[in-house]
Structure 1
Amino acid sequence: MHLAIIMDGNGRWAKKRGLKRIEGHKKGAETVRKITEYCAKNEEISVLTLYAFSTENWKRPKMEVEFLMKLLEGYLEKELETYIKNDIKFETIGDISKFSEKLKKRIQLTKEKTKNNKKLTQVLALNYGSKNEITRAVKKLIEKNEEITEENIQNNLDLPRDVDLLIRTSGEIRLSNFLLWQCAYAEMFFTNTLWPDFTPEELDKIIKSFHLRERRFGGV
């Protein structure tokens, strides 16, 4: 199963508690670890894709963006042991060229250290936007002088694998430019739970509900 999650609600979680937004992001990072470890133990989940930083997130206050970059760097350094212990392969989608050299090196190091892990692939969407991804895929085909077909476009996406189950936390009901192509026939669940409060137990209930749905992929 390919599970994708839009991790939403860190800022609101902090605001409800009279805290700065960065405290919500810190707490959200802890949730990432818990959910990732749960997925690594769940044999039916092979890929977990998390919407970590969108192409639109650069519009946020400069201090918050800088904090998110430092948080990501620190998370990858701290969680390398978790990846290795749980046999998790780390990958990214999106354009990381805008990141600092230090952060890019940390991303590449984490990928290199975990490339042979097999139990779960965790994919972080970083400086990612689905419209941008699809546009880049089409440009690749034009540059290679290949026919523009659905199959060729999919094969040239950052993540050429369809999503089975998409979850968005915080009560918002939209995709926000996340995996638009890959979610063509995804089952979608929207929960009011803010991301820092999202638990493996709630995820387990959603997966059980997912199995009760009949997936027809356009058929009868």
Structure 2
Amino acid sequence: MTIKDKIQKDKLPKHIAIIMDGNGRWAAKQGNQRIFGHEHGVESVRSTVEGATEIGIQYLTLYAFSTENWSRPHDEVNALMGLLVQAINDETEKLKEQNVRLTMIGDFASLPKDVQTKLNWSINELSKCTGLTLVLALSYSSKWEITEAIKKIAQDVKDDKLQIDNIDKDILDNYLATVGIPDPELLIRTSGENRISNFLLWQIAYSEFYFTPVLWPDFRKENLYEAICDYQNRERRFGKTSQQLVS
């Protein structure tokens, strides 16, 4: 029996989010520059998306580039942006064959114009797909997202479009970048780091965390399946007791 065969199809998480970490360390182990790890990380994305579609995951969010990543060396950022354009160009047709819809969350305006153009093209090309929704988190951070949401709420209050007393968690959900996307039930982080790195802080309030020592360029669909099996063996209580769940 393979690890895939152990997955309970009736207990799949609807949404999985992944912090793809370890490209630089993987490249260093190979005696290469960091971009070498990023290049090989594309194959990990390909395998993970394929694995998610095979078992019927509905949403997959990949943390590809944070707002803090802009402070990395200029050459690395430029290489990453170029790699992103190339990957979008190379992978869109395959994603269409897999019936994968593409969307993004993050500060779109901060991305280089060629990246914006390619993203818009790919999102439009895949807009009629009805399978997995692949969410790319680009130039994204939770602090940026929540700050932007507060600005929009403040403006709507100022314009008398929203009453302060009506603001609750559901209202805030509608102002976040992830509006219309369910909160992730499972958050995976690769490379052995045990932190969240400013990712989906509002949305992961009740997510299950799975930390693996596998560096991202070595991550494959089988690693995704292992994480899902681990998730399915957990008890999700949402503040209740085990006895209440049984009842």
TM > 0.5 between the two? yes
What is the alpha-carbon distance in structure 2 between the residues aligned to residue 40 and residue 200 of structure 1? 10
Asked if 1:206 is matched to 2:227, the reply is yes
Asked if 1:21 is matched to 2:34, the reply is yes
Letter in 2 for 1:114: L
Q: Which residue of 2 aligns with 1:56?
A: 68
- Report if the CA contact (8 A) 1:141-1:152 is conserved: no
SS at structure 2 position matched to 1:193 = coil
Asked if 1:159 is matched to 2:159, the reply is no
Q: Which residue of 2 aligns with 1:168?
A: 189
Letter in 1 for 2:174: N
Q: TM-score, normalised by structure 2?
A: 0.87
Q: TM-score, normalised by structure 1?
A: 0.97
Give the greater-gyration-radius structure (CA). 2
Which runs of 5 or more structure 1 residues have no equivalent in the other structure? none
Q: Which residue of 2 aligns with 1:113?
A: 125
What is the alpha-carbon distance in structure 1 between the residues aligned to residue 50 and residue 221 of structure 2? 9
Letter in 1 for 2:127: K
Letter in 2 for 1:208: C
Letter in 2 for 1:196: P
Deviations 1:129-154 (A, max 9, x none): 00110111121122122243211111
Which runs of 5 or more structure 2 residues have no equivalent in the other structure? 1-13, 242-247
Shift of 1:37: 1.2
SS at structure 2 position matched to 1:56 = helix
Residue from 6, 9, 25 that aligns with 2:22: 9
Aligned length: 219
Shift of 1:119: 0.8
Letter in 2 for 1:81: E
Letter in 1 for 2:171: N
SS at structure 2 position matched to 1:151 = helix
Q: Which residue of 2 aligns with 1:84?
A: 96
Aligned-pair identity in percent equals 47
What is the alpha-carbon distance in structure 2 between the residues aligned to residue 169 and residue 194 of structure 1? 6
What is the alpha-carbon distance in structure 1 between the residues aligned to residue 121 and residue 66 of structure 2? 22
Residue from 179, 198, 210 that aligns with 1:177: 198
Letter in 2 for 1:107: L
Q: Which residue of 1 aligns with 2:11?
A: none
What is the alpha-carbon distance in structure 2 between the residues aligned to residue 179 and residue 52 of structure 1? 13
Q: Which residue of 2 aligns with 1:41?
A: 54
Q: Which residue of 2 aligns with 1:94?
A: 106
SS at structure 2 position matched to 1:51 = strand
What is the alpha-carbon distance in structure 2 between the residues aligned to residue 116 and residue 41 of structure 1? 19
What is the alpha-carbon distance in structure 2 between the residues aligned to residue 125 and residue 66 of structure 1? 17
Letter in 2 for 1:170: S
- Report if the CA contact (8 A) 1:84-1:114 is conserved: yes
Residue from 141, 144, 151 that aligns with 1:132: 144
Over aligned residue pairs, what C-alpha RMSD do you find?
0.9
What is the alpha-carbon distance in structure 2 between the residues aligned to residue 96 and residue 70 of structure 1? 16
Deviations 1:5-61 (A, max 9, x none): 000000000001101111100000111111011111111x10000000000001110
What is the alpha-carbon distance in structure 2 between the residues aligned to residue 6 and residue 100 of structure 1? 22
Deviations 1:77-136 (A, max 9, x none): 100111100000000000021222221111001111111111100000000000110111
